[in-house]
Structure 1
């Protein structure tokens, strides 16, 4: 099954990435407004790079996540956003599935993080967030993606292409989480 292959191929990268970004400061409520803004920006440049490559290959795929990040950044006064910091390309449907697995799969973590944003005293002044919302609505894309995956069979070659692209996508997020505003 494609989903199991993707989970196995990325488990180590996923675990490593969870421990290496500013979202942990949301979870322990120590994040500053500037760090939160940077976290949104780092996510924006990664999601933007990936999402624009998926629309061509996956039915119903949109730029929803990068658009919501853009809205939240705009509310914080960040409007001049460069969407082309990272080069990322999907060459076929299997690669797009691997990349989509990473960004759609992030919904569960994003929902948990979103529930903690409102518990961060330094972020209480922010208007309602559209990316880290803490609502089940954020799971809609993941559920649609799972339905899409379960609707068909994949060859071993397709599974390998998807797994490789999923790993590459996690590495893109890792690079994004090392970007500072001064690097932009």
Structure 2
């Protein structure tokens, strides 16, 4: 299954992202509003440079099965930017996905961040200093986070043939590399 293949082959990237964003501080309640601003800003840049490209790369088959209209996150994270008094920016980095399968791999990174973001939002909502934070991006699916992730994984696992795993992994690595190096 491609979802397991991606999980195994992007584990180092995932760990590097957790380190970059000081994720351990989230659970020991030492995560600050400045830490949160960094994670929102970096995820904003990732979405700004990738979301439309990903969605435009996917055929109608995926648009329907993945409920793409319900997965748009850029407008939500822009609300978070505004509430945190951070500036919107224009796309300034090259990030391209060469195939539909690369776009699916990149989407895996974004959907995975949504899954983790739900946990982050719940944890930070219990942390001092986060009373006024709205968590538009991290709480985007609310109680539907589990079902949305499950749907995404099922579509990947049923639609992507084994010979395309490398392309999907390539897209995931491209987006992880971008996330880890953009600022």
Q: TM-score, normalising length from structure 2?
A: 0.82
1:63-82 residue pairs with structure 2 within 5 A?
A: 64-78=72-86, 80-82=87-89
- What's the offset of the Cα at 1:74? 1.0
**Structure 1 runs (4+) greater than 3 angstroms displaced:** 22-25, 138-141
Aligned to 1:133: 139
Between the aligned partners of 1:133 and 1:122, the Cα distance in structure 2 is: 18
Residues 31 and 122 of structure 1 are in contact (CA less than 8 Å); yes or no, is this contact kept in structure 2?
Answer: no
Residues 26 and 117 of structure 1 are in contact (CA less than 8 Å); yes or no, is this contact kept in structure 2?
Answer: yes
Task: Give unmatched runs, 5+ long, in structure 2.
Answer: none
Q: What per-residue deviation string (whole Å, max 9, x for no partner) do you get for residues 10-53 of structure 1?
A: 12221222122144433332233233223211111012222111
Between the aligned partners of 2:39 and 2:159, the Cα distance in structure 1 is: 36
Q: What per-residue deviation string (whole Å, max 9, x for no partner) do you get for residues 63-114 of structure 1?
A: 6222211111112223x41141332111211111111111112222111111
Q: Which of 91, 96, 99 matches 2:103?
A: 96
Q: TM-score, normalising length from structure 1?
A: 0.82
Task: Give unmatched runs, 5+ long, in structure 1.
Answer: 180-184
Helix, strand or coil at the partner of 2:139? coil
- What's the offset of the Cα at 1:160? 0.7
Aligned CA distance change for structure 1 residues 85 and 136 (closer, same or farther; 3 Å): farther
Larger relative helix fraction: 2
Aligned CA distance change for structure 1 residues 8 and 85 (closer, same or farther; 3 Å): same
Name the Cα RMSD after superposition.
Answer: 2.2
Helix, strand or coil at the partner of 1:107? helix
